[in-house]
Amino acid sequence: MTPTKSIDGQDLREMFAAAASWLEKSSADIDALNVFPVPDGDTGTNMLLTMRSTVEESQLAADHSVSSVAKAMSKGALVGARGNSGVILSQIFSGLSQAVDGKDAITGKELADALAKASTVAYAGLSNPVEGTILTVIREASEAAQAHAATVSDDIVSIVEATVNAAKESVAKTPTLLPVLMEAGVVDAGGQGLYTILEGVLHYLKGEMEQLKLRRPWMVASSIPLTAKAPQMVGAEEVPYGYCTNFVIKGEGLNPDKLRKRLEKRGQSVIVVGDDSAVRVHIHTLDPGDVVSYVVPLGTLHQINIRNMDEQYRDFIEMQKERMPAVEVAIVAVVVGEGLANVFTSLGATFIVPGGQTMNPSTKDLLQAVEAVVSEKVIILPNNKNIVLTANQVQSLTKKTIEVVPTTTIPQGVAALLAFDYEADMETNAQNMNKAKAAVKSVEVTRAVRSTSLGGLDIKKKQAIGFLNGDLVAVGDKPDAVVQDVLARLNLDEVEVITIYYGDDTTSAEAEEVGDALDKQHSQLQVEVVQGGQPYYNYIVSVE
């Protein structure tokens, strides 16, 4: 391929026109990424409308120089911007336009520098820039563009390729920077939108017209896997979000910085951008009337758009349901220890009630959990023999339909959870889970709280004691040795999987040693060592 050394205004116009149609194909998917209470209802749609206005205005440029086209695009973006991400996008175009002012055409290096300027201007538009959003994506993408232009190649296609790759990586890690994204297991919608736009530009520069037409942009996968499940999100308390309020003020001697400060007292997610003759405002407020009355004396208002975010939230919840398998049945599990709770959540438990051997939850605790989940049908996994009866009480206190799968250990609970079938009804699931729990053996090792003699064993206080399926079978000074002692009572040659959950007073090195020893003795075994973080129990081991 011949290197592309420069682009003119016509190229600029067409590459962003291509980007707009590329974005159009995934705007609905991007809408689906929104996470409340992160502001902005329909990010994909908002960015698309912003892009359309940008592209339309680019046709009205005075000439075909990069400078004029970029200026027109910047103007189009400002007046057409919608929503949070749209406004930030308009800042990106404003930065691009400032950087290429006066130029007929630009080189790859100049394009990279213009992206860097775009990043700076985008950050400047916000009083409180948040990382893990479109801002991070434009910054990291522009840094990659500059690095590539400086050290690798001045070919514009290869620079944009590097930019797109960096944008994709940046989007994938947005959940590590923004906790709400992590909880929802999604990437930032605005970041995804920007990545899609840059990818559209790249397709155009590569001359891939057929791809633009027949393929669809792919959604970047979150680098952090999803743990929270949709039904839980639906159950979240309803907080009023108020109104997403957008408008443009046209006038003379406007002061965007001063206006931003004043508006910050009147709402959240305030973005104010523009110059002394036109300013775009985006604000989330419980009282849009108050905001509008405040700005009316400053000039004339245009493109006023006020949307009810509570309504958007309900639509959003409906949309989220589509993305997951329809789960009519929720699972409430009693678990103690952060690691174990994560294991249960990651395998699909809807609600975790903290509790275990020394901390039995009350019927009321379980009832609250049952009432908190959205589903009308709930399976309870008590995971301890002292909690099974409590769990059985819940049915008489709720209108919901309850099935208790009487798991008495953590390994039984995990086995039951794994047997959950998304296609089956509650009864079938309860049957399958009962069957699965019966197939697993549980080993637990803890410290004796007092000296005693039990089951023919003399036990001194603080000695390690080992249980097999709830029966005391071994005693010793070291928990590691006791685990091995108990396991030695089983025919491990017929076992396929051993999972070792180590407690909060056991180190991972100690646990790994136990695991390695098993691995060496029995080659057919799949041994997994997992941090359970449970108190009191040094080891909980599942044998299947």
Question: How many chain residues bind other proteins (CB under 8 A)?
Answer: 38
Residue from 82, 139, 229, 260 in contact with other proteins (CB under 8 A): 229
Residue from 63, 237, 252, 496 in contact with other proteins (CB under 8 A): 496
Contact of 534 with 540, CB cutoff 8 Å: yes
Beta strands, E only, 276-400: 278-285, 300-308, 329-335, 351-354, 377-381
How far is residue 408 CA from its own chain's centroid? Answer: 33
For the bound state, the minimum distance from the C-beta of residue 226 to other proteins, rounded and expressed in Å, comes to: 5
Q: Of 128 and 214, which has the nearer Cβ to other proteins?
A: 214
For the bound state, the minimum distance from the C-beta of residue 528 to other proteins, rounded and expressed in Å, comes to: 5
Q: Of 418 and 492, which has the nearer Cβ to other proteins?
A: 418
Contact of 96 with 118, CB cutoff 8 Å: yes
Residue from 180, 236, 347, 388 in contact with other proteins (CB under 8 A): 347
Q: Of 69 and 212, which has the nearer Cβ to other proteins?
A: 212
Q: Is position 219 an interface residue for other proteins (rule: CB under 8 A)? A: yes
Q: Is position 66 an interface residue for other proteins (rule: CB under 8 A)? A: no
Q: Is position 225 an interface residue for other proteins (rule: CB under 8 A)? A: yes
Residue from 59, 268, 277, 346 in contact with other proteins (CB under 8 A): 346
Residue from 130, 157, 221, 473 in contact with other proteins (CB under 8 A): 221
Q: Of 93 and 501, which has the nearer Cβ to other proteins?
A: 501
Q: Of 54 and 499, which has the nearer Cβ to other proteins?
A: 499
Residue from 262, 348, 397, 492 in contact with other proteins (CB under 8 A): 348
The residue whose two tokens read 């910085």 is: 257
Binding range to other proteins, per CB under 8 A, among 276-284, 302-310, 337-345, 357-365? 337-345
Q: Is position 530 an interface residue for other proteins (rule: CB under 8 A)? A: yes
Residue from 147, 226, 306, 397 in contact with other proteins (CB under 8 A): 226
Residues with Cβ within 8 Å of residue 425, at least 6 apart in sequence: 328, 329
Binding range to other proteins, per CB under 8 A, among 98-106, 273-281, 360-368, 522-530? 522-530
Q: Is position 526 an interface residue for other proteins (rule: CB under 8 A)? A: yes
Residues in the chain: 544
How far is residue 177 CA from its own chain's centroid? Answer: 10
For 327: left if phi > 0, alpha if psi spans -120 to 50, otherwise beta; the answer is beta
Q: How far is CA 493 from CA 406, 486, 521, in A?
A: 28, 15, 9
Q: How far is CA 223 from CA 173, 235, 271, 350, in A?
A: 6, 25, 29, 22
Q: Please count the other Cβ atoms lying within 10 Å of the Cβ belonging to residue 449.
A: 12
CA-closest candidate to residue 23, choices 174, 192, 252: 192
Q: Is position 200 an interface residue for other proteins (rule: CB under 8 A)? A: no
For 533: left if phi > 0, alpha if psi spans -120 to 50, otherwise beta; the answer is left
CA 261/CA 270 separation, integer angstroms = 9
For the bound state, the minimum distance from the C-beta of residue 364 to other proteins, rounded and expressed in Å, comes to: 29
Residues with Cβ within 8 Å of residue 518, at least 6 apart in sequence: 487, 492, 498, 525, 527
Find the distance separating the first CA and the last CA of the chain, reported in whole Å: 58
Site for other proteins in 395-414 (CB under 8 A): 414
Residues with Cβ within 8 Å of residue 312, at least 6 apart in sequence: 41, 42, 241, 244
For the bound state, the minimum distance from the C-beta of residue 165 to other proteins, rounded and expressed in Å, comes to: 9
Q: Is position 421 an interface residue for other proteins (rule: CB under 8 A)? A: yes
CA 174/CA 183 separation, integer angstroms = 12
Q: Is position 377 an interface residue for other proteins (rule: CB under 8 A)? A: no
CA-closest candidate to residue 492, choices 529, 522, 527: 522
Q: Is position 268 an interface residue for other proteins (rule: CB under 8 A)? A: no
Site for other proteins in 120-149 (CB under 8 A): none
Q: Is position 492 an interface residue for other proteins (rule: CB under 8 A)? A: no
Three-state secondary-structure class, residue 334: strand
Q: Is position 343 an interface residue for other proteins (rule: CB under 8 A)? A: yes
Q: Is position 325 an interface residue for other proteins (rule: CB under 8 A)? A: yes
Q: Of 168 and 284, which has the nearer Cβ to other proteins?
A: 168
For the bound state, the minimum distance from the C-beta of residue 472 to other proteins, rounded and expressed in Å, comes to: 27
Q: Of 14 and 338, which has the nearer Cβ to other proteins?
A: 338
Residue from 374, 418, 448, 481 in contact with other proteins (CB under 8 A): 418
Binding range to other proteins, per CB under 8 A, among 76-84, 281-289, 339-347, 469-477? 339-347
CA 283/CA 402 separation, integer angstroms = 45
Q: How far is CA 388 from CA 61, 226, 345, 380, 384, in A?
A: 74, 30, 20, 9, 7
- Site map (CB under 8 A) of other proteins, residues 156-195, x = contact: -----------------------------x----------
- What is the DSSP-derived secondary structure letter of residue 378? E
What does the binding site for other proteins look like in residue numbers (CB under 8 A)?
185, 210-211, 214-216, 218-219, 221, 224-227, 229, 323-325, 327, 339, 342-343, 346-348, 414-415, 418-419, 421-423, 496-497, 499, 526, 528, 530, 544
